[in-house]
Amino acid sequence: MQSGPREIVTPFRPIPLDVPEGMKPNEFFNSTENLNDLMHNNGLLQNPEDLLLYRKALGHSNLFDTSIIYNTSKTILDPLGRPVRRTQVPDNVKHVWNRMNQIIIEYMTEAFPDPGETLLLAGEASLDATWPLTSPGVPSIRMLHNHFIAFDKRQLRDAPLADIDNPNLTDGGQHSLFQAHMRDVYRAFFDRLDLQILKPCNDGTCKIELTGYPQGLPAWEITGGVDALKEVRFWKEYDIILKGFIDFYRTFFTQVSTRNAPMPKQVHFPDLVEEKLLFNNEFLKAAKTVRDQCVVDAKYANGLRWQPAFKQLIYRNDNGKLIVTISQNSIGNAITELLGVVVKRQPDAEAYEQAEPALIERLLEVRKRLMAADLGEGIETPHWPAA
């Protein structure tokens, strides 16, 4: 079978929400009113840390698909002032969030034990409010949230190949700025991070054979598998990967913006930044190339993400190993597309309702486990009880 990205169709039940006159959809979806609807119609569990587990009404997969959002919509009304990545979350909230992640991922591996049958992924994306506000695809809900998704590999095998020139699929491949101009610098920088549980995966086994993705991204195997997720050390290393990425990204675009700029303030690994980046000719040469292009090409400059933008994933490879990867997300692709899965959502209430009972059964089971671990209280909706 030919390896390549797949485009699947996922039916959904149309959402009965009316966008107020004079508001754009992304403005309304970012509102407290919409978050209230998300909780009362699709909410599964909430806790005092403002973490909300919910069913994805516009889901990627009807096999298993849920998210946790750090719902600060009532405590921080300014959408641009909300936490949008792990490094901005208070420690007590992140502690609970990590435990929730561990339990849900463990459930997914138990519910879908065969890597040949099911593709599993969990991860979060930067919702940094640094895109040009007039651009399509500006994050609609600027609050940190993550995804837990299972895809039926049989559906993927039967799906048509996606267009490989789709810009959403070029995020980590040969079109990526980092990979095209700074691949060796990027890898050498990550190699100096203090990682014990995460082991570099450079032999090609990290790719999903069916899709050939992820492409061109650094990846690490989680030694110890799902049991390692129960260790605090793993989540610290998961954050180290993100902090290292943020340092690299901020340092690079600071140099793009201003020639020979000083080190950015509040970097996480200043000695590493100085040694491996600010004294690296290839790194600074790439920054000059981008800077020179910005001066003469307004459209190119307007499309840059000047602040760190990323997708960070835990997924299961074909051998059943759990893998961590992070995308230098310069484009804004959907999180599933890092693994070569393009989802075309299609309104079809009848088709969705056929899959809904099994989906809800799984969601309520994982909620039950979270409640047993004192990670929140159940939410009653028209579709399920509170417990």
pLDDT tens per residue across span 252-271: 999 999 999 999 999 999 99
Q: Residue 135 in contact with residue 143, Cβ under 8 Å?
A: no
Domain assignment of residue 327, yes or no: yes
Domain assignment of residue 77, yes or no: yes
Partners of 45 in beta bridges:
53, 378
**pLDDT bracket for residue 181 (50, 70, 90):** confident
Distance (Å, rounded) from C-alpha 205 to C-alpha 221? 10
State residue 170's pLDDT score. 61
State residue 168's pLDDT score. 66
Q: What is the pLDDT of residues 279-316, one digit of tens each?
A: 999 999 999 999 999 999 998 887 777 888 888 999 99
Distance (Å, rounded) from C-alpha 179 to C-alpha 328? 9
**Which range marks the domain in which residue 126 is found?**
6-378
Domain assignment of residue 386, yes or no: no
**pLDDT bracket for residue 58 (50, 70, 90):** confident
In this predicted structure, the answer to whether residue 346 has a pLDDT above a threshold of 50 is yes
Contacts of 344 (CB under 8 A, 6+ apart): 7, 8, 9, 10
Q: Residue 336 in contact with residue 5, Cβ under 8 Å?
A: no
Domain assignment of residue 351, yes or no: yes
Place of tokens 């051998």: 319
Q: What is the pLDDT of residues 89-132, one digit of tens each?
A: 999 999 999 999 999 999 999 999 999 999 999 999 876 655 55
Q: Residue 128 in contact with residue 307, Cβ under 8 Å?
A: yes
State residue 79's pLDDT score. 73
Buried b (16+ CB within 10 A) or exposed e, 105-127: bbbbbeebeebeebbbbbbbbbb
Place of tokens 């804004």: 332
State residue 179's pLDDT score. 76
Domain assignment of residue 383, yes or no: no
C-alpha dihedral, 73 to 75 to 80 to 82, nearest 10°: -90
Domain assignment of residue 204, yes or no: yes
HSE, CB side, 13 Å, CA atoms: give it for residue 207.
Answer: 16
Q: What is the pLDDT of residues 318-331, one digit of tens each?
A: 999 999 999 876 55
**pLDDT bracket for residue 174 (50, 70, 90):** very low
Average pLDDT, the chain: 89
Structure tokens at 287: 């920054």
Share of the chain above pLDDT 90, in %: 66
Distance (Å, rounded) from C-alpha 276 to C-alpha 267? 14
For the chain, what is the domain count? 1
Domain assignment of residue 384, yes or no: no
C-alpha angle with apex 140: 135 to 146, nearest 5 degrees?
125
Place of tokens 């599993």: 120
Least confident of 35-39, 134-138, 270-274: 134-138
